[in-house]
Amino acid sequence: MNKVVRKYIENSVVSVLFTSSLVTTITVIFITFFLFYEGMGLFREKPLEADFIIAVNKSNTVKKLDNQQIGAVFNQDITNWKELGGDSLPIEILSLYTIENYYSEEDLGEDFSLLPQKINEFLEQTPGAIVCFTKAFMPEKIHGDEIHIDNIELLQFLKGKSWLPTSQPVAQLGILPLILGTLWVSLGAILIALPLGVASAIYMAEVAKPKLRNLLKPVIELLSGIPSVVYGFFGLIIIVPFIQQLFNVPVGETALAGSIVLAIMALPTIITISEDAIRTTPLALREASLALGATRWQTVLRVVIPYSKSGISAGIILGIGRAIGETMAVLMVTGNAGTMPTSFLQPVRTIPATIAAELGEVPMGGVHYKALFMLGIILFLINMIINISVEYIKKGRVGR
């Protein structure tokens, strides 16, 4: 093969490799940009459905409410305008759910033809009135004042404690229970998987006989290829009833069940990568340590593990990433309850499970749709913060 042909082949290979890396990089950047573009659009939206109007009596001094206050009013948790900074008047709600309390079918006419007139009549005659209907039912000229509702705010979104994106007339978009549920389940999984995974890797690399190691490693690697839904079935049939009976709790679908299932799923990754890293420790380092009088276990703890901690850290990061981002198995065994977690023995809901359960049924471009993309951004940032933290800790130890 002459030099010209060889040079041409080398250039072609380089071009293919460059194109492949470029396409991969652009794809990742595009996905990230799309995620942030869709999610950040949430804060340009109001929590009120686009075709709904909320109005009050003209004499009412309350002209502005946030989504939590409106939700409390329509849930009748707040029953007097004084609680909202207005006059001491009972709140009278007129909506499709309460209209029968004020008007009969005859009053409303055929096909609700007289409803716009009744809405204005209610607003004029009831000082504590608040009405909520779609634009199709509202009169062209409302004899009242529309309530001003601010756009969704980031801080309110992050610290809110109610995730009710389909509630009417306003969506309740508080993701604090989802964030804490995700971290709660992931923390439990890490506490279980980390010591077991590293200990198993040390055993396979330093203690197990070659025949046993050659048998165990393919089996462990095979476990990482099992679909997550299979782990979910295992957790639902075995772990959930076991937890319910052991701790005598009403339901076994708890944060603890999710942590155990995630720990089992993360173990193959942690064990495989950590074991490979430990086995790459140069033989010269081991022999030097033993020659200086160190025991076998002193050599492992003070030479082998420090040398291979970069690979062990990589395995831990990948294991944590799988634990935080897992969807189906967690959806099946954690109970999917969007409540503030206070114990490992209560149902919780995680961010990935929420996205998986709801994204397929939401209208594209709506508030709920954008809120789920914002959840994806939060999950992305949590993973990034954990990865950066592990790298920082690893580099700090190297520096010492």
**Do residues 273 and 361 share a domain?**
yes
CA distance 196 to 194: 6
**Do residues 69 and 12 share a domain?**
no
* 164 lies in some domain: no
**Do residues 32 and 57 share a domain?**
no
* 165 lies in some domain: no
Provide mean pLDDT across the span 324-352: 89
* 162 lies in some domain: no
Q: Evaluate if residue 396 carries a pLDDT over 60.
A: no
Q: Evaluate if residue 223 carries a pLDDT over 90.
A: no
* 24 lies in some domain: yes
> Among residues of the chain, what percentage have pLDDT more than 90?
50
**Do residues 389 and 317 share a domain?**
yes
Mean pLDDT score across all residues of the chain: 89
Residues 6+ apart with CB under 8 A from 190: 263, 266, 319, 320, 323
Q: What confidence tens digit (pLDDT) does each residue in 370-389 have?
A: 999 999 999 999 888 877 87
Residue 57 backbone phi and psi in degrees, to 5: -60, 145
Q: What confidence tens digit (pLDDT) does each residue in 36-57 have?
A: 999 999 998 888 877 889 999 9
Q: Evaluate if residue 322 carries a pLDDT over 80.
A: no
Domains in the chain, number: 3
Give pLDDT, residue 398: 44
**Do residues 118 and 193 share a domain?**
no
Give pLDDT, residue 16: 92
- When comparing pLDDT for 391 and 331, which is higher? 331
Q: What confidence tens digit (pLDDT) does each residue in 297-309 have?
A: 899 888 998 888 8
Domain that holds residue 12: 3-44
Q: What is the CATH number of the domain that holds 324?
A: 1.10.3720.10
Q: Are 37 and 133 in contact (CB under 8 A)?
A: no
**Do residues 81 and 97 share a domain?**
yes
* 156 lies in some domain: no
Q: Are 375 and 351 in contact (CB under 8 A)?
A: yes
Give pLDDT, residue 344: 93
Q: Evaluate if residue 397 carries a pLDDT over 50.
A: no
Q: Evaluate if residue 400 carries a pLDDT over 60.
A: no
Provide mean pLDDT across the span 64-77: 88
- When comparing pLDDT for 391 and 24, which is higher? 24
Q: What confidence tens digit (pLDDT) does each residue in 101-144 have?
A: 999 988 998 888 999 999 999 999 999 999 999 888 999 899 99
**Do residues 80 and 229 share a domain?**
no
Global pTM value? 0.85
* 157 lies in some domain: no
**Do residues 142 and 238 share a domain?**
no
**Do residues 117 and 31 share a domain?**
no
Give pLDDT, residue 92: 94
Provide mean pLDDT across the span 230-257: 93
Beta bridge partners of 170: 48
Q: Quickly count helices (H) and strands (E) in the chain.
A: 17, 6
**Do residues 58 and 39 share a domain?**
no
* 126 lies in some domain: yes
Domain boundary residue, one of 150, 185, 210: 150
CA dihedral 59, 63, 68, 74 (to 10 degrees): 30
CA distance 108 to 70: 26
**Do residues 212 and 358 share a domain?**
yes
* 239 lies in some domain: yes
Q: Evaluate if residue 399 carries a pLDDT over 80.
A: no
Give pLDDT, residue 392: 72
**pLDDT band, residue 395 (cuts 50/70/90):** low
Give pLDDT, residue 56: 95
**Do residues 209 and 353 share a domain?**
yes
> Among residues of the chain, what percentage have pLDDT more than 70?
98
Q: What is the CATH number of the domain that holds 86?
A: 3.40.190.10
Supply the DSSP symbol for 348. B
